[in-house]
A and B are shown apart, each in its own frame.
Chain A
Amino acid sequence: MDLPQILANSLVRAAELSLLAIGLTMVYDILKFANFAHTDYAILGAFLVYLFNRTFGLNMFFSVMLAALVTGVVGIGIDKAVFKPLRRMEAKVVTSMICSLGIAIALRNIVRLIWTSGTKTYPLPLMRPLEILGARLTPVQIGIIFTGFISMVAFHLLLHRTKFGKALRAISDNRVLASACAIDSERMIRWMWFLACSYGVVGGTMIAVEHLLYPRLGFDIIIPVFCAAILGGIGNPYGAMLGALTLALAENIVLALDFGYLASLDGLFDFGSIQISTGYKPAISFVMLIAVLLLRPTGILGKK
């Protein structure tokens, strides 16, 4: 097992997942429902980045900013049209959850309508991976880790050093009390959606750049993202970061393990080589999700 490489790959994956998980966990924390459309917002944004960057030739930074803006507006619009009325009707949260499923289907297929089902890639020049501390990482991957890190620091600062973050935390703790303190929770909710969608767009773009971009990507990553959020402790943004890292490590380690070797007790028996086929990679997060839900639904960090 090449530990440094596993760690490096995990950091990249964790960076991608954590930005998505943070948004998901925020929505769950403040609006109390699991937003099944979250990753589809992110992928819509990723497609917009592709549009601005590849089709219109805008540079990457501005493409992402613009796409985050547009996606944020979409998120706010959908909240206004769907979730706000549900809040006003005092509908059960499961209704919002099922609605989010409908929204997910719609968004995913709107993307498909506009950009077709085909897979998009970012044609990057062939780069030589750099050797850092025994692991090989391409500059893109290093960029992803860096961006992820900066984004998470920014999030932390936002949450704890700004008035906005303070208000957000107040709403998360006790919405009624917060409105008594003249915090306009509807306005805060709009900003929350903007933040969740924007972070999602960055995360989605990172995945698109490093791998592939296609309309169904939203569904393909929803479960790993849920897993990361729940693993770390749903509702807790730091948990989302930790959960993402844990999941990423688990995925890479499990695939690298040779169970035949382990079972043979270092050569005592001979089981041949038993490795989990890479086709099961998605299943790892699914199984971990189920395991976490069964064994420790509050996650590693629990709620704050």
Chain B
Amino acid sequence: MPLINFLIYFLTMIGIYSVLAMSLNFQVGFTGLINFGQVAFFCIGAYTSSLLVVKAGAPLIVGFLGGMALSGLFGYIISIPTKSLKADYWAIATLAGGEVIRLVALNEKGLTEGAFGVMSIPQPFDWFFSRDTYPLFYLLLIVACVVTVYFALSLLTNSPFGRNLKAIRDEEDLCLSLGKNTRKLKLEAMVVAGMVAGLAGALFAHYITYISPENFRPIETFLMWAMIIVGGRGNHLGAILGAVVIQLFNISTRFIGGYVPFGSDFMSALRMVIIGVLIVLFLLYRPEGLIKERTKVYDLQGNNMK
């Protein structure tokens, strides 16, 4: 019985991270925006939703929507400087931005309870299900969200809007020369990505019912990056696969701990070393990731493979 519960927990977390990975992929893989502060959206979505519900007594749906809205707003704010900033400067700025958000969560005790975190976050529909079946319900909720986000983002990337974003990633000057307001497009992409990641944050908060600034350390951003690099940038399925692979790796090594004479601190560090090395190896030898984006169509005989 406990195994089934663990499996449900595991799948639920994969689902939440899939949404986060798809959001990051939308920025990096489709639009070419190098965001090292992705965790900030996660944090804002989680805190906004929990605080609205716990402190302001708002209904859960308002919490979720509020989390998405505020994350979207943050996406808007951080993309304002993209016009004047080169890619690497913007990346550094987003890294800084992510940490600022965490520090605000840590220091504004009056608002966020600081290091103590927000406790007893209510779960949607918990009155309807028994304690045993609730996790299954939440998993189905997550799956529904993953599927919805997948289809919504696919719709966007297959639309003229998506066409513009893909073109921006590869040739921004060309887009300008075709009359596209690239600044506005990047802004819109960041708002969408922010909202999606904010949703993931709200889903997370209302699942584990307790959040603190410790949940939103920069390592989360790096894990999401590992997911999209391993899974494959520029396609939504790749993001989901990346989330599965990295989370599988993360959680499976927790079990080896029992069979191997290393402490948990050691295992945790080893895990992260492997993640770092994976990122480098993939970028060097398989930059497209596990699920390739389509660009080459001919095989060695010159046959059209598509």
Contact = CB atoms under 8 A, between A and B. Distances in A.
Taking the complex as a whole, does A directly touch B, i.e. does some CB pair lie under 8 Å apart? yes
Interface of A: 33-34, 36, 82, 85-86, 91, 93-95, 97-99, 101-110, 112-113, 116-117, 215, 219, 222-223, 226, 230, 277, 279-280, 282-283, 286-287, 289-290, 293-294, 297
Interface of B: 34, 36, 81, 84-93, 95-97, 99-100, 103, 106-107, 218-219, 222, 225-226, 229, 265-266, 269-270, 272-273, 275-280, 283-284, 287
A109 B81 contact: no
A94 to B, nearest CB: 5
Nearest to A89: B284
A282 B103 contact: yes
Given A34-B88, A102-B280, A103-B280, A287 B100 contact: yes
A117 B91 contact: no
B24 to A, nearest CB: 12
Contacts of B277: 102, 106
Nearest to B32: A94
Given A82-B284, A297-B84, A102 B273 contact: no
Contacts of B95: 36, 222-223
B84 A101 contact: no
A67 B280 CA distance: 25
9 closest pairs, A vs B, by CB? A106-B276, A102-B279, A105-B276, A112-B269, A109-B272, A286-B96, A102-B280, A109-B269, A109-B273
B36 A101 contact: yes
Given A289-B93, A293-B81, A98 B273 contact: no
A8 B225 CA distance: 41
B269 A101 contact: no
A99 B280 contact: yes
Nearest to A297: B89
A187 to B, nearest CB: 23
A278 to B, nearest CB: 10
A209 B90 CA distance: 33
Contacts of A289: 92-93, 96
27 contacts: A34-B88, A82-B280, A82-B284, A94-B91, A101-B222, A101-B279, A102-B280, A103-B276, A106-B272, A106-B280, A108-B272, A109-B272, A110-B269, A112-B269, A113-B266, A113-B273, A223-B96, A280-B107, A282-B103, A283-B100, A283-B103, A289-B96, A290-B96, A290-B97, A293-B85, A293-B92, A297-B86
A289 B103 CA distance: 15
Contact of A95 (B84, B93, B283): B283
B96 to A, nearest CB: 4
B91 to A, nearest CB: 7
A104 B279 CA distance: 11
A105 B96 contact: no
B268 to A, nearest CB: 8
Contacts, number: 127
Q: Interface SS of chain A: helix, strand, loop or mixed?
A: helix
Contacts of A98: 34, 225, 229, 279, 283
Candidate in A94, A98, A112, A116 with the most chain B CB atoms within 10 angstroms: A98
A193 to B, nearest CB: 16
Contacts of B284: 82, 85-86, 99
A70 B228 CA distance: 33
Nearest to A117: B265
Contacts of A97: 34, 88, 91
B218 A219 contact: yes
B81 A105 contact: no
Candidate in A97, A102, A290 with the most chain B CB atoms within 10 angstroms: A102
Contacts of B88: 33-34, 93-94, 97
A290 to B, nearest CB: 5
A131 B87 CA distance: 47
A44 to B, nearest CB: 13
Given A286-B100, A289-B96, A297-B84, A105 B89 contact: no
Given A99-B279, A113-B269, A113-B273, A286 B92 contact: no
Nearest to A102: B279
B196 to A, nearest CB: 21
Contacts of A294: 81, 84-85
Contacts of A103: 276, 280
A112 B262 CA distance: 13
A39 B103 CA distance: 21
Candidate in B36, B229, B272, B275 with the most chain A CB atoms within 10 angstroms: B272
Contacts of A86: 284
Given A99-B280, A105-B222, A293 B272 contact: no
Contacts of B266: 113, 116
B287 A95 contact: yes
B160 to A, nearest CB: 26
